[in-house]
Amino acid sequence: MAETAEKRYAILIASSSYPKEPGLKDLRCPENDVDALDAVLRSPDFGGFSKTFVFKNRPNHEVLERIETVLGEAGRHDLVLIYFSGHGKLNPAGQLCLATANTKLRALGSTSIPVGSIKSYFDHSASRKKIFLLDCCYSGAVGKDFTRGGVDDQLQLVSRGQGTFIMTASTGIEVAVEKEGDEHGLFTKHLVQGIRSGEADMNEDGLVDMQELYEYVHEKVREEGAQKPMQWGLGVKGSMIIAKSGRVAKEKRRQELRAKLYELAAQGLLSDGIVSAAVHVISLPDKEMTAKDRECLQLIEQLTDERISVGNFVECWVKTCLSNESEQKGVWSGSPYASNSDFAWSVSFNDGLSGALNRSSNVAFRLVRGGQ
């Protein structure tokens, strides 16, 4: 019997306003955070989630009921993701609680979302794939009272459930940053960007798994400050996929670009040197591309889409894509050849690059090469 198709559910919680608790500072980013994550998870091009449930500044009992219901109804092959952006607080027993619109610090257990409750729902769920993402902020006064071990211990308890992957904004969830001018919390900004840009797809297989996403977010967040995201993946077997990356479409496009170059080379319109250099540019991962590489890639795309002629492509390639070293060392020599009436010169350089230039570009090429 064929296995039941996976269904994907997300519960996204934004807690930015605390009207019943003056001891919790209002936050600027949580609602933007859940909107951005919701969009990328629901998109068929990325997350492809079957259903998302978004809670913005709702009381704890509404959120807890939905969490319990979704986890209770999820099948063994289904994936359930829970995301929280807002404040967190330890209760007197040292247990982590997530603040909601009705939270009162003097009655924390009954007016918040205790992580222990989520653990219980995880434990009793048939789902073998569960993701818990926490972008929690604390005021400075609350942060001073935190003991890192206490919070981490709570998270490790949650992750005992089979196939549970937890990622948090910072060590012990002590600090989560909202940078001035940013629309999103630092952690969530890179979480969404890693999926949407495809940059978190480290092995370029067209999929973003949670380990890849963690490594991407960890690197990006660390580049912007002292915040250090953490992750736990106890009980996870194999790769837990959160989204597609779009890399498959990119690879198809790369194949089109390479095919066009090889076609023109076979017709004698492009030299092996230009084709080799262009294929190298096409193969570069996005994160390794320089501004110059991107200009060269744009030229290749224009050529493939027939927005520029072969002659113009070669002229622009010589001006734009040869390295400074090549331009300094290169010498050219040429003799007419008749494989195509639009071209009059075969050009070669002492660095191994060569190319065909049409009559009009020959003059420009002389200028670029210092009149040699």
pLDDT at 345: 42
Q: How confident is the model at residue 4 (pLDDT cuts 50, 70, 90)?
A: low
* pLDDT attached to residue 362: 39
- Dihedral sign, Cα of residue 235, residue 246, residue 258, residue 276: negative
Place of tokens 């040197």: 273
- Give the confidence band of 23 by pLDDT, cuts at 50, 70, 90: confident
Indicate whether 195 pLDDT > 90: yes
Bridge partners (DSSP) of residue 136 are: 86
pLDDT at 227: 74
Q: What pLDDT does residue 135 have? A: 87
Q: Is the pLDDT of residue 180 over 80?
A: no
Q: Classify burial at 81, counting beta carbons within 10 Å of its beta carbon; exposed 0-12, middle 13-18, buried 19 or more.
A: buried
Least confident of 269-273, 293-297, 336-340: 336-340
The phi and psi torsions of 4 (rounded to 5 degrees) equal -65, 135
Asked if 354 contacts 275 with a C-beta cutoff of 8 angstroms, the reply is: no
Residue 83 corresponds to which tokens in the numbers above? 């995301």
* Whether the Cβ atoms of residue 326 and residue 363 lie closer than 8 Å to each other: no
H runs (alpha helix) in 204-284: 210-224, 247-266, 272-283
Q: Inform me whether the pLDDT recorded for 356 exceeds 50.
A: no
Q: Read off the tokens for 74.
A: 């999820």
Residue whose structure tokens are 């952690």: 187
For residue 171, the one-letter residue type is T
Q: Which residues are registered as beta bridge partners of 167?
A: 133, 231
Residues 6+ apart with CB under 8 A from 368: 318, 319, 327
Q: What is the pLDDT of residue 237?
A: 73
User: Sign of the CA dihedral 340, 346, 351, 352?
Assistant: positive
With beta carbons less than 8 A apart as the criterion, state whether 228 and 171 touch. yes
184 pLDDT more than 80:
yes
pLDDT in tens, 276-300: 999 999 999 877 889 899 999 999 9
Residue-wise pLDDT for 52-77, tens only, equals 999 999 999 999 999 999 999 999 99
Angle (CA) 30 191 289, round 5°: 140
Mean pLDDT of the chain: 78
At 47-56, the pLDDT tens digits run 999 999 999 9
Q: pLDDT category, 150, cuts 50, 70, 90?
A: very low
Confidence of residue 367 (pLDDT cuts 50, 70, 90): very low
Residue pair 127/44 in contact by the 8 Å Cβ criterion: no
State the Cα–Cα distance between residues 21 and 123, nearest whole angstrom: 31
Residue type, 209: D
pLDDT at 323: 58
Give domain limits for the chain: 8-245, 248-368
- In terms of residues, how long is the chain? 372
Q: What is the pTM of this model?
A: 0.67
Task: For strands 129-137 and 79-90, give the pairing.
Answer: parallel
Higher pLDDT, 158 or 240: 240
Residue 334 pLDDT > 60: no
The CATH architecture one would assign to domain 8-245 is 3-Layer(aba) Sandwich (3.40)
pLDDT of residue 172: 54
DSSP helix/strand/coil, 246: coil
- The confidence score (pLDDT) of residue 24 equals 87
Reply yes or no on whether the pLDDT at 175 is more than 70: no
Q: Is the pLDDT of residue 242 over 50?
A: yes
**Mean pLDDT across 133-139:** 65
Lowest mean pLDDT among 154-168, 221-235, 237-251: 154-168
Contact 3, 75 (CB under 8 A): no
Dihedral sign for Cα atoms in the order 360, 361, 364, 366: negative
Mean pLDDT score, 232-248: 79
